[in-house]
Amino acid sequence: MQKQPPLSSAVSIDGVGVQFRTKRADVTALDNVTVDVREREFVSIVGPSGCGKSTLLKLVAGLVRPTSGSITLRGEPVTSPRSDIGFVFQKAALLEWRTVRRNITLQGEMRRMPKAEIARRTAELIEMTGLAGFEDAMPHELSGGMQQRVSLCRALLHQPPVLLMDEPFGALDALTREQMNSELHRIWQETRTTVLLVTHSVAEAVYLSERVLVMSRRPGRVLEVLPVELPDRNDYSKAMASAEFGARTARIRELLGARTAHD
């Protein structure tokens, strides 16, 4: 097999520190975080609550400015909110008065994309995420998993090269979550977008990611970046039962557990 050419950097986080000033105190949310994410890579971020995971995603989106260091998105310094990203949050945040279809098209309408392109992309995404037949349903008629699919479609409509996800499946039951995990894996392969996923689930991180970034307690630092090579990710049960899966989850739990025990 021919060797793939090296892919270029999608997100570069270089020596980033973030301090928040509040009335009561200054909080150091992140301390000297450096990580490079390649184009098309899937990277998860795990770490204790309050260690700065959401802040890290907001930095990449240009919604928070670093106190020190710099962020580069596809070769350009991030200095203001970026429109060439997709963002999915734990809460689907759909407009209750719009149908599934019109919640998805909203992204294109706000960006003033051509109508025909919005319609074409919306149809493609509805198909890809298994929402066919629900185009005219209202958000309250959908299960939590379906709502997150709509929110994923909306985030992908403009074909963002980088998709940021902040605990997107945190509110779902365990079985729905597993199903969403294998669907997200397939969608990532189809769209070839770079993904940065924040999650509390070590299993989710290992199953989905090519690398997992493990953070320390606040102030968040990078403890370790673990590469993951699972034998057969397209078969969820097989991937989860593999020795590599067991070894990686054990290592991450050790890193997270060891820190909480001593700090």
In the complex, what is the shortest distance from the CB of residue 71 to Mg ion, in angstroms, rounded to a whole number?
18
The residue range among 52-60, 111-119, 137-145, 182-190 that interacts with Mg ion, by the rule CB under 5 A, is 52-60
Residues 222, 53: contact at Cβ < 8 Å?
Answer: no
Q: Does 54 bind Mg ion (CB under 5 A)?
A: yes
Nearer to ligand ADP, 54 or 105 (CB): 54
Helix or strand or coil: residue 116?
helix
CB proximity list for 258: less than 8 A, separation 6 or greater: none
In the complex, what is the shortest distance from the CB of residue 22 to ligand ADP, in angstroms, rounded to a whole number?
5
Q: At what angle do helices 115-128 and 144-156 cross, to 10 degrees?
A: 140
Distance set, CA 240 to CA 59, 182, 184, 252, 260 (Å): 32, 11, 15, 15, 26
Distance CA 209, CA 93 (A): 25
Nearest to 93 by CA among 54, 151, 173: 151
**Cross-strand partners of 30:** 18, 220
The residue range among 50-58, 89-97, 199-207, 225-233 that interacts with Mg ion, by the rule CB under 5 A, is 50-58
Q: Does 52 bind ligand ADP (CB under 6 A)?
A: yes
Nearer to ligand ADP, 149 or 217 (CB): 217
Q: Does 63 bind ligand ADP (CB under 6 A)?
A: no
The residue within the footprint of ligand ADP, chosen from 2, 4, 22, 80 (CB under 6 A), is 22
Which residue, chain included where needed, has tokens 């001593």? 262
In the complex, what is the shortest distance from the CB of residue 61 to ligand ADP, in angstroms, rounded to a whole number?
13
Q: Does 164 bind ligand ADP (CB under 6 A)?
A: no
Q: Which does 219 bind (CB under 5 to 8 A by kind): ligand ADP, Mg ion, none?
A: none
End-to-end CA distance of the chain: 48
Nearer to Mg ion, 94 or 164 (CB): 164
Nearer to Mg ion, 99 or 151 (CB): 151
Residues forming the site for Mg ion (CB under 5 A)? 54
Residues forming the site for ligand ADP (CB under 6 A)? 20, 22, 27, 29, 47, 49-55, 218
